[in-house]
Amino acid sequence: IVDTNADSVTTTITDGGNGPGNNPDDDRPTVSITGPQAQVSEGDSANFTVTLSKATETGVKVKLSLTDIDTDADDLGDMTVSYELNGKTEVITADSNGDYTIPAGITELNVSVITHQDTDYEGDEAFSVTVTPSEGVSGITDGKLATDNAIVSDDGKLGGDNDIDGGNDDRPTLNVKSLGDTDEGNSATFNVTLGNQVKGEVTYTLKLESNDGFNITDITSISVNGDEITDPNDIASFFNQGHNLTLAGNDTNFSVIINTKDDSEFEGPESVTLNVNTDVALAESGNQLSDSATILDNDNPPVANDDYDGDGSYWVNNSDANGIFIAFNDITKNDTDKDDGDTVSVWNKDDLESFTLVPSEAGSIALSDYGEGLVFTPNSEFNGPVQIEYFATDGTNKSLEPANIHIYVNEVNANNDGLSTAFTTSSADGWQNLDGNDYFTIKALKIGDDGKRVEDGELITEGSEHIHKLGMGVADTARADHTGASYQIEHNHEYDVSEAIQIDL
């Protein structure tokens, strides 16, 4: 309707899509947003671009909103909106309605969001910026985004696929530290430390291993972060699949305490190693993922030492059918044990299989009638050195190494030629005149009925030496005043030298 009486007519031409008719003209631009194409290092700014589909002759308005996806409120700082004009950066701020006005002729806005750097490891975190059309903007450009994301990285990796080294790196170190070796029956303590805090929870896998026999039978309990674990199956899990511990990411220290069993069995030093892994990405250097402690066994085994009769070996003639008795108390009198109060005895002494005769053809061993020692009976065809190997015990522990009882079997009448002369010899039998005089001089010692030397049996002494191929010389009735007695040459087995009585050849 036109008022024909009016002096003028006002007509409004609109291209904002709000004109009359079913299909009004709409020349308003559309808008879209594009986020960073690569990850953003924590502490840097994330830059978004808001793009109008075309320039306008008047200012248009959009709203911008920031949304946390993985980030927290304190991870992000201020959002700055600007545009470039004539080589200068112009900053615009939102009005009371939250609208940002894009001046006429401007088609792009730079939206910069500050990210806050900290020392906590958070991994890749996303946030988004959304553009919403307001005055003068018809909608979102076809095929474009109204919202786009930025990824903030603090793991020292950047790039679209997180495959470029660089950027802020908050990945923590992990260190396992043993507090040192411990005695059996005490505790082995390990401290586990995460280098810095982590966002969320951290799961640790704790695994024990030993290469020298330390296992669940040596453990009474394991304390993990103050929780006592006593069930054998739960303790076994430390040695098998590993024990899992989940802690808050700001709980960066805990201890693993292995309480060991004090037993009477000597096992020697045993080492145990704690290996720790975690589901959190760790720094590329500075980690120590395992450490070891040695459990020192304070149950020392006895030490068995070789046994002699005084300064030399036990002696017995190969003609002695009764053999020689060696008391168990004499065998262990020089054996030792470091542990106070321990009494050392012969291990498994009631079982002859505990003793080894070397050489086996030298004779036989038996327990004495009252079980107080061993009786060695020589083979009449054997002469020479013999050892009986045995182990010592403190009642619980067996000596780690055996010792030997040293015996020498003497060959009686070795050179008896059947003549009236009781004892003859010559250089063919191995005697040597070392001092160059015209006769041999040897030292004779009387042998008692028990096969041991009798001190008052010394007859002749002189400083000469000789070597016999059998190591011994024996004379029956060598002197008239000792008729019927046996005489045995004193022989130094270490240097293989002997002394002898005078014999004319």
Whose CA is closest to 304, among 384, 388, 232, 421? 388
| Residue indicated by tokens 């015996």 | 407
Whether the CB-CB separation of 315 and 325 falls below 8 Å is answered with no
**25-39, 201-215, 471-485, range with the lowest pLDDT:** 471-485
In-domain check, residue 239: yes
In-domain check, residue 283: yes
pLDDT for residue 158: 81
In-domain check, residue 105: yes
Does the pLDDT value for residue 485 go beyond 50? no
- CA–CA separation, 246 and 422 (whole Å): 93
- 315 vs 57, residue with greater confidence: 57
- CA–CA separation, 450 and 447 (whole Å): 8
Residues of the chain with pLDDT > 90: what percent?
58
- CA–CA separation, 178 and 274 (whole Å): 9
| Residue indicated by tokens 């590993």 | 242
CATH value at residue 340: 2.60.40
pLDDT for residue 316: 86
Does the pLDDT value for residue 84 go beyond 70? yes
Other Cβ atoms less than 10 A from the Cβ of 90: the count is 12
The verdict on 329 and 291 lying in the same domain is: no
Domains held by the chain: number: 3
Exposed/middle/buried for residue 457 (C-beta within 10 Å: 0-12, 13-18, 19+): middle
In-domain check, residue 203: yes
DSSP 239: H
pLDDT for residue 55: 94
In-domain check, residue 353: yes
The verdict on 263 and 219 lying in the same domain is: yes
- CA–CA separation, 214 and 210 (whole Å): 6
CA separation, residue 459 to residues 33, 310, 422, 456 (Å): 122, 21, 17, 8
Domain that holds residue 133: 30-153
- 8 vs 187, residue with greater confidence: 187
> Residue 33 pairs with which residues in a beta bridge?
50
Highest average pLDDT, of 2-6, 100-104, 332-336, 489-493, comes from 100-104
What angle (nearest 5°) sits at the alpha carbon of residue 359, between those of residues 357 and 361? Answer: 95
Q: Of 245, 266, 296, which one is at a domain's C-terminal end? A: 296
Whether the CB-CB separation of 467 and 496 falls below 8 Å is answered with yes
Q: Is 152 helix (H, G, I), strand (E, B) or coil?
A: strand
The verdict on 318 and 234 lying in the same domain is: no
The verdict on 184 and 281 lying in the same domain is: yes
Confidence of residue 63 (pLDDT cuts 50, 70, 90): very high
pLDDT for residue 96: 95
pLDDT for residue 486: 38
Residues of the chain with pLDDT > 70: what percent?
74
Does the pLDDT value for residue 437 go beyond 70? no
- 430 vs 214, residue with greater confidence: 214
In-domain check, residue 362: yes
- 374 vs 183, residue with greater confidence: 374
pLDDT for residue 6: 63
Q: Is 136 helix (H, G, I), strand (E, B) or coil?
A: coil
- CA–CA separation, 203 and 14 (whole Å): 64
Q: Of 153, 186, 220, which one is at a domain's C-terminal end? A: 153
Whose CA is closest to 108, among 190, 165, 46, 53? 53
In-domain check, residue 307: no
Confidence of residue 465 (pLDDT cuts 50, 70, 90): very low
The verdict on 40 and 106 lying in the same domain is: yes
Q: What is the largest CA-CA distance in the chain?
A: 184
pLDDT for residue 115: 95
Give tens-digit pLDDT for 383-412: 888 999 999 998 888 898 999 999 988 776
- CA–CA separation, 289 and 206 (whole Å): 10
Does the pLDDT value for residue 160 go beyond 70? no
The verdict on 51 and 149 lying in the same domain is: yes
Q: Which residues of 225-359 form beta strands (DSSP E)?
A: 227-229, 243-248, 253-260, 270-278, 290-296, 314-317, 324-327, 345-346, 356-358
Helix residue ranges, H only, 299-418: 328-331
CATH value at residue 146: 2.60.40.2030
Q: What is the mean pLDDT of the chain?
A: 81
**119-123, 285-289, 342-346, 467-471, range with the lowest pLDDT:** 467-471
Does the pLDDT value for residue 139 go beyond 70? yes
Give tens-digit pLDDT for 267-312: 778 899 999 999 999 999 999 999 999 998 767 788 999 998 776 7
The DSSP annotation for 23-44 comes to: S--B-PPEEEEE--SS-EEBTB
In-domain check, residue 394: yes
Highest average pLDDT, of 7-21, 353-367, 403-417, comes from 353-367
Whether the CB-CB separation of 389 and 355 falls below 8 Å is answered with yes
pLDDT for residue 418: 36
Does the pLDDT value for residue 461 go beyond 70? no
What angle (nearest 5°) sits at the alpha carbon of residue 357, between those of residues 356 and 359? Answer: 130
pLDDT for residue 469: 28
